[in-house]
Amino acid sequence: MTISASFILYLATFIMGGCGLAYEYTLSRVAADLLGNSARQWALVIGAMMFCMGIGADLQKRLKDKGLIDKFIGAEILLGLLGGCGPLALLFTYGMAPNYYILVQYAFISSIGLLLGFELPLIARLNSVHISRLEVNLGKVLKMDYVGALAGALIWVFLLPLFFTLIETAFILGLLNLAAATILLLYFRSQVTFNGRLWTALLTTILILTTALFQARNWTSSAEQYLYRDRVILSQTTRFQHIVLTRSKANEISCYINGSLQFNSADEYIYHENLVHPAFALAKSQRRVLILGGGDGLAAREVLKYPTVKELVLCDLDPKMTDLARNHLNFIELNRDSLNDARVSILKNNILVPQDQDEIIRIPDQHQRFGSRPDEVARVTLVHLDAAALLEKLAGKFDIIVVDFPDPNNEELAKLYSRTFYRRLADRLAVDGIFVQQATSPYHAKEAFLCIGRSMTAAELTVIPYHDNIPSFGEWGWWIGGHQERWSEKDLKNRLKQTTTLTVPTRYLTPELIHATLDFGKNQLNTNEREINTLVNHKIFTYYLKGWQTGY
């Protein structure tokens, strides 16, 4: 059976449609990882590329029909090269010449967008020789492009991340683009004018991208090293985030998520002791504890010091983070193996939390780390699920809820600081229960810090702020509280100020320091702002960006 020219063009359109959308996703993800503010970066990158595609679609009319197949194949070879190498080039630029990053980024975006804009009009022009009716020609070409775009999106989201890093994915996409160019060059070889030159360019580009694919991880490590002062010892991209560990000359370990520092081993205990122990000093019961976030196991380390804790549920969206916490030596040394006890159970995100927590399958006890008898050992359950979804599905009430989310530095995280989220949290909090949340810096991002407190109050929770200095972060703050019908601000403050002893060992925190954390400087928390954060206004994100950019 003879394969028609139209079929070859449709096949090429399908491949190019998938690659084109995937290029947009890849460049957007690179920009979001490097610059933060993911929703804004995705919107700007995709918007700019679509604009340039429109310009490219218009410019192609200037190309004459003579030698059109040569021009099209040449454009595809160049697109494969730019699309494949672009993300790695951007990573090196950001590390070595950050002042020129935006210029280089939009140079790649513009070039790739222009070349993508050439594709559909040129294919339609080439196919018009075989299908003269415009409506049929355009309909079939656009259909294959849109179907390819869907396939590209699904493969980019679900398949490629299982086997390749983001930089490797770009090289895979470039090679797929070159595969389409190869098909066209083979089929239309009799119509190609510059056959030898195109084959030379094609094979050279395939060699470049193939070599780059095999060297991608080494080159990525070299590029990332420019982004960090200390030596990078781990770099891992997951479905949800990019995780980097560094080690300093003083042997200090730092963990970064999407470029933002999460902890430094030299002072993380100051943060985590402040996060956990004031809540335990307030709580009347300490049997059931919920940690939202905290996949590094450091908050769990502090919680599991208390023999009164019988059940701990830790929810972190990213299973790769808890996997590192359970298996990576540096994490294990810091969290004291808190997530590897014999009584740890793991519920994956496709398994709903049982209505009766006693139904959770327990791993047989092999040893006890936190007590001498099985009933003295806290049962730990790890859940990999969005925290907001977990609060809807999780059964029962918790005596203490510890919220250890990253700062609200994008719209996705902003929802976890909303009034709606705190109402769900209140539903899971026992009548006398206590919750605590890290709340960014009351100095550098004061309005974001205060907005968190207002949003909690709007959810009918009574809260008070406290703060301390963490060398790696500077001035840092938390909010702590409980149900309005049970606690008043005066009750919370008096109970904390009456704390005379901590029942578990600490490296830093003392009762006197807890008392001191409640005091703020004169007018430090004054504000004229009154807005709360909701699921739709993302006000916390606006405050956060303004605060860290301007210092208020």
Residues recognised as catalytic: 404
Contact 341, 370 (CB under 8 A): yes
Buried b / exposed e over 103-125, threshold 16 CB at 10 Å, is ebbbbbbbbbbbbbbbbbbbbbb
Bridge partners (DSSP) of residue 479 are 437, 465
DSSP state at residue 236: E
Residues 6+ apart with CB under 8 A from 424: 388, 391, 392
Q: Facing residues of 476 across strands?
A: 468
Separation between Cα atoms, residue 165 and residue 151, nearest integer Å = 19
Query: Judging by DSSP bridges, how do beta strands 311-315 and 398-404 pair with one another?
Result: unpaired
* Residue among 260, 437, 243 nearest 331 (CA): 243
The one-character DSSP state at 231 is E
Cβ distance 173 to 83 under 8 Å?
Answer: yes
Contacts of 438 (CB under 8 A, 6+ apart): 271, 275, 403, 404, 405, 476, 477, 478
Residues 6+ apart with CB under 8 A from 532: 419, 451, 454, 455, 458, 539
